[in-house]
Amino acid sequence: MTAPIVNSHFPIMEHFPTIQGEGFYSGTPAFFIRIGGCNVGCHWCDVKESWPDQGHDSMSIEALVKLAEESGLDFVVITGGEPMMYNLDALTEALKKTGKSVHLETSGAYPLSGDWSWITFSPKKFKAPTAEFYNKAQELKVVIFNKSDFAFAEEHASKIHDECKLYLQPEWSKRDAMMPLIVEYIKQHPKWRVSLQTHKYMQIP
């Protein structure tokens, strides 16, 4: 496995204040930092422009912290791409020193770095996660693209710790077909909850 890149600058595809649209914190105002670079390869990914680690602005930790502070929001989400391709110890430490709640969205395909207030672990079939996320994540979110993904979700739920919250989320392009199946599945398996991409329904970034 490739070692995480350790530096004080990161390729940033975008950063913006918005509303967290998914999972446990859906509806919460948040400052998003989207780091470029991902080789997990989800064919249904809706942010494929985040895959290259080249061509994005290189931003320092100091600049990112300043932007987060200027947003006026206490909730920072670091997403990608796949943010765990980079060592985020120093970035999360700097953000937490300003009083921010710092949340990670990851497939878990690379070793965990950083000091997190919340970890959303969303494993993918295309690149297996590392085992540490099963003990560290506060939220397991599985994207449902077809019927076989329910078995995939249960496989990962069987490894996760008991306090982790469990979510099934329809892949956006298949939501009309998958949502009825998710509803019926959760009625029969009530340990799960529904996650929706509510930001897309609200037409916000």
CATH number, residue 192: 3.20.20.70
Residue 3 — pLDDT band, cuts 50, 70, 90? very low
Determine the Cα–Cα distance for residues 20 and 76; give it in Å rounded to an integer: 10
**Is residue 196 situated within a structural domain?**
yes
Which residues are CB-contacts of 32 (< 8 A; sequence separation ≥ 6)?
A: 14, 15, 16, 17, 18, 76, 77, 79, 205
pLDDT at 12 over 50: yes
pTM: 0.93
**Has residue 3 been placed in a domain?**
no
**What is residue 44's predicted lDDT score, i.e. its pLDDT?**
78
- Which pLDDT does position 1 carry in this prediction? 41
Please state the domain count of the chain.
1
Give the range of the structural domain holding residue 181, as residue numbers without chain letter: 9-201
Whether residue 150 lies inside any domain: the answer is yes
**pLDDT tens digit string along 20-69?**
999 999 999 999 999 999 988 887 787 878 888 888 999 999 999 999 99
Task: Report the DSSP beta bridge partners of residue 102.
Answer: 76
1 assigned to some structural domain: no
Q: Which of 116, 64, 66 is nearest to 93 (CA)?
A: 116
Chain segment 103-161, per-residue pLDDT in tens: 999 999 999 999 999 999 999 998 899 999 999 999 999 999 999 999 999 999 999 99
Predicted pLDDT at 20: 97
DSSP conformational letter for 154: H
Asked if residue 81 belongs to a domain, the reply is yes
Question: Residue 4: inside a domain, yes or no?
Answer: no
